[in-house]
Amino acid sequence: MALVNEHFLKLPGSYLFSDIAKKINTFKITHPKQDLIRLGIGDVTRPLPPACIAAMHKAVDEMGSEKTFRGYGPEQGYDFLIEAIIKNDFAPRGVHLSAGEIFINDGAKSDTGNIGELLRWDNSMGITDPVYPVYVDSNIMCGRAGTLEDDGHWSNVTYLPCTEENGFVPEIPDRRIDLIYLCYPNNPTGTTLTKAELKKWVDYALDNDTLLVFDAAYEAFIREDDVPHSIYEIKGAKKCAIEIRSFSKTAGFTGVRCGYTVVPKELTAATLTGDRVALNKLWNRRQCTKFNGTSYITQRAAEAIYTPEGKQQVKANIDYYMENARTMKEGLEKAGLKVYGGVNAPYIWLKTPDGISSWRFFEQMLYEANVVGTPGVGFGPSGEGYIRLTAFGNHSDTAEAMRRIRNWLK
């Protein structure tokens, strides 16, 4: 008899976006003629940069010829891409990484979900709240999160609330935690940490022997100078942090699938007897066993992001989305709403008026303004009373959505 991993049974049954889809379907059945503007789901809409398309075509042709065909590549990724990453994403910021510290992945979700395999199941963990659901769910699956309590919290997870009161800057924990996930710029709040604020986390991690998993999927959207692009800009971070990046939001790779994970050679964790083990070695071993690399064609596409044309094209797409973010921020503020984010991230975190719940405001906005958002409470208990809107739409829909919301709230 095969016994199941019963931790999976603890996972909350239905997923946020399927609940939203059900509510949208109900609306559509009762209002077949009304058109909806969707500012809910966090997927990009701009097509791939032409530089990436050209690189993929060329790579496809190479695959079609005996002389240039490529089979299995290195599990860690091809050197051409790793070198482009080191040279463009880190060296200009004074961060020196070696090729062996970068692992090309098939998008950040897999590695953010899998990285916990390197640690015993009984480590304590912490997350900022609200946050990208993968961190908690992947820890529920291995039993690390404990059990779900009545108030929506997991028993072995320390929640670090990010609220209006603390300016969405989580407080440093008053006790030690083994593993903490940070995501900046943040999904869903769209807020960031300054260098000084991130330094407090690195110092905490060094003092408490904590492993930080730093998800920088939205790094390319940073506009302000004082916001760190990489956690390794903070001194000491190579001793305490893994950083995960993605080309999904940066360059429209949500359907292509590529990103990378940085595991510095200096980074260690302990055995029960107190010996230190390099996590880079463990992750490499894990990848060699369970992963056979991102496709060659995809890695050539990612490499093209770093060419002069690629950089320009990526910037144009990000500027396009950030123009939406500005339209949304201004439009919602004019409608008398309180909004956060949208400056260094493609997300607007809207506070519902009069303390209305996330789901109630979601339904009102759906039925009365025909605009779809994402209920903030779906990202964690501290998201209650907020709605996430994304800047990934097109300009005219985004502007029209703001008109609808303004007329509705008048």
Ligand X SMILES: *Cc1c(COP(=O)(O)O)cnc(C)c1O
Binding residues vs ligand X (CB under 6 A): 42, 107-109, 112, 132, 183, 187, 215, 217, 246, 248-249, 254, 259
Nearer CB in complex with ligand X: 221/402 = 221
**In the bound complex, what is the minimum distance in angstroms from residue 245's beta carbon to ligand X?**
8
Nearer CB in complex with ligand X: 108/405 = 108
Taking the C-alpha atoms of residue 246 and residue 163, their distance in angstroms, rounded to an integer, is 26
Task: Let me know how many helices (H) and strands (E) the chain has, helices first.
Answer: 12, 15
Nearer CB in complex with ligand X: 249/300 = 249
**In the bound complex, what is the minimum distance in angstroms from residue 106's beta carbon to ligand X?**
8
**In the bound complex, what is the minimum distance in angstroms from residue 45's beta carbon to ligand X?**
14
**In the bound complex, what is the minimum distance in angstroms from residue 7's beta carbon to ligand X?**
22
Q: Give, in degrees to the nearest 5, the angle at Cα 106 between 101 and 111.
A: 60
- The 3-state DSSP class for residue 387 equals strand
**In the bound complex, what is the minimum distance in angstroms from residue 140's beta carbon to ligand X?**
17
Q: Are 330 and 343 in contact (CB under 8 A)?
A: no
Q: 25: buried, middle or exposed (CB in 10 Å: 19+, 13-18, 0-12)?
A: exposed
**In the bound complex, what is the minimum distance in angstroms from residue 161's beta carbon to ligand X?**
18
What kind and span of H or E run contains 206? helix 195-208
Taking the C-alpha atoms of residue 340 and residue 351, their distance in angstroms, rounded to an integer, is 8
Sign, CA dihedral 195-197-200-205, equals negative
Nearer CB in complex with ligand X: 130/264 = 130
**In the bound complex, what is the minimum distance in angstroms from residue 256's beta carbon to ligand X?**
9
Nearer CB in complex with ligand X: 110/280 = 110
Across the beta sheet with 259-262, the strand order is 102-105, 259-262, 241-246, 211-215, 179-183, 125-129, 157-161
Residue 6: other Cβ atoms inside 10 A:
8
Nearer CB in complex with ligand X: 217/222 = 217
Nearer CB in complex with ligand X: 109/329 = 109
Nearer CB in complex with ligand X: 292/407 = 292
Nearer CB in complex with ligand X: 218/402 = 218
**In the bound complex, what is the minimum distance in angstroms from residue 208's beta carbon to ligand X?**
24
**In the bound complex, what is the minimum distance in angstroms from residue 295's beta carbon to ligand X?**
15
Taking the C-alpha atoms of residue 205 and residue 178, their distance in angstroms, rounded to an integer, is 9
From the list 325, 305, 334, the residue with the least C-alpha distance to 388 is 325
120 phi-psi bin (left φ>0, alpha ψ -120 to 50, beta other): beta
Strands 179-183 and 211-215: parallel
Q: What is the 3-state secondary structure (H, E, C) of 312-370?
A: HHHHHHHHHHHHHHHHHHHHHHHCCCEEEECCCCCEEEEECHHHCCHHHHHHHHHHHHC
Q: Cβ contacts of residue 120 below 8 Å, gap of 6+?
A: none
* Maximum pairwise Cα distance, the chain: 67
**In the bound complex, what is the minimum distance in angstroms from residue 275's beta carbon to ligand X?**
32
Nearer CB in complex with ligand X: 268/374 = 374
Taking the C-alpha atoms of residue 155 and residue 167, their distance in angstroms, rounded to an integer, is 26
DSSP conformation class of 214: E
**In the bound complex, what is the minimum distance in angstroms from residue 239's beta carbon to ligand X?**
23
Nearer CB in complex with ligand X: 101/215 = 215
